[in-house]
Structure 1
Amino acid sequence: MPVILQPDSAAIAQCAERLRAGHAVGFPTETVYGLGCDSTSEAAVAEVYRLKQRPSSNPLIAHVLDAAMAKRTVIGWDVRAQKLAEAFWPGPLAIILPRRSEICASSVGGRTTVAVRAPAHPVARALIEAFGGPISAPSANRSGHISPTTAAHVCEEFPDEPSLPVLDGGPCEVGLESTVVDLSRARPTVLRLGAIDAAELEETLGTQVFVTDPGIQGASPGTSPSHYAPHTPAELVEEGALAARLTSEPSPVAVLAFAGTPVDAPHELFALPRHASAYAQMLYATMRRADASGAPRILIVPPSDKGALWDAVRDRLRRATARRPSQRN
């Protein structure tokens, strides 16, 4: 089981030294917990992919302290990137630009671009500052599984990794992965939905921002059809169809839905708040509890509320319930 460290100066220094030695570290961000490594070390990047069991084509985000560090990580940092950094960094926005040669090609699936982000979490920032360079990191979970939003979740994902340190920064404030915007093309394009929406980006840039088809995989992590998924088979059920569906279920099931949704025994409601930011913050932790409940199936009632953050939530729910190649009825 990984060791959880309280993020004092000694623990930060210990983890920074571990990064320099080419090893992985679990650390908090405001979105989800990351599994970080030295962006310039092929061996370190390989360790992260091995631990996650992650496809080599799936890129990592390079976490930086600020725009100055980003400029040492990417090529072509332009006025658009500067505007976005000034408006949204530190925060849950990753910006894709051509990468410098020092950034391992293996960390971005062989692509010529890299996504960079300055996280807002003070522990993440302290770690990056102590390390002195970009830290490439995916979410700290096995590939395709539910993203971790506490240090304990990271330990659950890697029970056989006793040497892996995890800095404990408490529950993640945002709870969903960052928005990813691609500035390597002529038209700014959102590749992954998150807490910062295209309208906010358009207002900052003064130009149209496009949103890619969510079914297209590309230069952004978190865009595979099946992702963020529980081990238990899960499916979306519209609110109006839930009662009839529960009546027809032969065994007790877990239901993820708004608090107050009628769910009678023997089925169990795993309630989520009605406010978008609170729902997003609690989604993965609640999904993990449902996954651990022993129910043979999870039914998820997708919120129908309008809004950009709700769109990001629905994106995660669609991927969490997408059919996996190995999944059977």
Structure 2
Amino acid sequence: METKIFKPNQINQAAAAIKAGELVAFPTETVYGLGADATNEAAVKQVYQAKGRPSDNPLIVHVTGVDQVRKYAQPLPAAAEKLIKAFWPGPLTLIFELQPGALSKSVTGGLTTAAFRNPDNQPTLDLIRESGVPLVGPSANTSGKPSPTLAEHVYHDLNGKIAGILDDGPTRVGVESTVLDMSTDVPTILRPGGVTEEQLEKVIGTVRSSHHHVGAGEVPKAPGMKYKHYAPNAQVYIVDHEEDWPAALAWAGQQDGQVGVMALAATIANDRLPANAEFFTLGADMQTASHQLFAGLRHFDLESPVKSILAQGFDDQGLGAAYMNRLNKSAGQTHFTNK
């Protein structure tokens, strides 16, 4: 299969592929998603095959707005209406109870709920409208690898496996959406992301953050809760504190192979990198670090292969919760220690 690159002025061609039951990756403000007609079970099953994704890992349904959600979900609670008004389109995914039989088990993982998102990217909204159906859209990468923030990342992983990629340049946010479960008594964050807990609580009051570990025989309600995610080829080591960097860089200089270093510009500015280390800047602050995280992991996979990566850790508050959620998973919870 030839994977075509569609530009935003070729939406009709990308939509024709979706209507034909094929897969087209699309841009969002967070990461690129792998799109298929959410109402076409055969097409949805192809998403799992192309990614190598476990079939019990449910998919997020991308819509153009709340009216499309109402076709499939049970009546929405008042709190959900407030959140939709405040954050859609944007990086917030909401989980709702479904009308019986509204979506196939391939989309829901066999659950009675589904996750919906209204992405903040005009070409993708145009693609959904032109296709006439909502689109499933897990990250457009090989399952378990760092999420794609460029069309080139998608092409590397899925070339020959999907019909096309709608290329709208680099994504703006860089980490996936916040997933909020609205089917529980108290709205519960299942995955931190671009909308913080504090922002949610300003709109609807108390929300919870779930720290539930999904067991081997349990179906997760949202992506990223059960399986290995975001892992580059190299082993990632999280450097938790700025005062740990001199020891971390000394350790890097003692390694036989190349070592990648990912940190804020100011963190490394006064340190001398060892000869076998390459620096990838995470920018100036938490906002830029979140935006650059996947790009850095992809850089060391595709452009400058290394055996190890030292990555800067942050407090898991606000946007830092999303950053550390992804970084901990990419590192397999491995932290640098000088002991």
TM-score normalised by the chain length of structure 1: 0.92
Q: Distance in 1 between matches of 2:288 and 2:212?
A: 23
87-96 or 72-81: bigger deviation: 72-81
**Matched position secondary structure for 2:8:** coil
228-237 or 307-316: bigger deviation: 228-237
Q: Distance in 2 between matches of 1:84 and 1:267?
A: 44
Displacement after TM superposition at 1:77 (Å): 1.3
Structure 1 unaligned regions, length at least 5: 325-329
Displacement after TM superposition at 1:33 (Å): 0.4
Alignment partner, residue 146 of structure 1? 146
Displacement after TM superposition at 1:2 (Å): 2.3
Out of 208, 211, 227, the position equivalent to 1:210 is: 208
Show the 5 A alignment for 1:72-151: 72-100=71-99, 101-151=101-151
Out of 311, 316, 326, the position equivalent to 1:300 is: 311
The answer as to 2:313 corresponding to 1:265 is no
- Indicate if the aligned counterparts of 1:73 and 1:134 stay in contact, CA closer than 8 A: no
The answer as to 2:179 corresponding to 1:168 is no
The letter for the 2-side match of 1:34 is G
- Indicate if the aligned counterparts of 2:59 and 2:223 stay in contact, CA closer than 8 A: yes
Out of 224, 233, 255, the position equivalent to 1:249 is: 255
Q: Distance in 1 between matches of 2:285 and 2:174?
A: 13
- Indicate if the aligned counterparts of 1:236 and 1:300 stay in contact, CA closer than 8 A: yes
Q: Distance in 1 between matches of 2:160 and 2:17?
A: 18
The letter for the 2-side match of 1:296 is K
Alignment partner, residue 327 of structure 1? none
**1:140-170 deviations in whole A, cap 9, x for unaligned?**
0010101001111110111333x52101111
The answer as to 2:15 corresponding to 1:13 is no
- Indicate if the aligned counterparts of 1:97 and 1:183 stay in contact, CA closer than 8 A: yes
Out of 233, 237, 240, the position equivalent to 2:239 is: 237
Alignment partner, residue 220 of structure 1? 222
Percent identity between the aligned chains? 38
- Indicate if the aligned counterparts of 2:144 and 2:227 stay in contact, CA closer than 8 A: no
**Matched position secondary structure for 2:25:** strand
- Indicate if the aligned counterparts of 2:316 and 2:322 stay in contact, CA closer than 8 A: no
The letter for the 1-side match of 2:27 is P
Q: Distance in 2 between matches of 1:306 and 1:226?
A: 20
Alignment partner, residue 312 of structure 1? 322
- Indicate if the aligned counterparts of 2:17 and 2:163 stay in contact, CA closer than 8 A: no
TM-score normalised by the chain length of structure 2: 0.89
- Indicate if the aligned counterparts of 2:264 and 2:285 stay in contact, CA closer than 8 A: no
- Indicate if the aligned counterparts of 2:31 and 2:147 stay in contact, CA closer than 8 A: yes
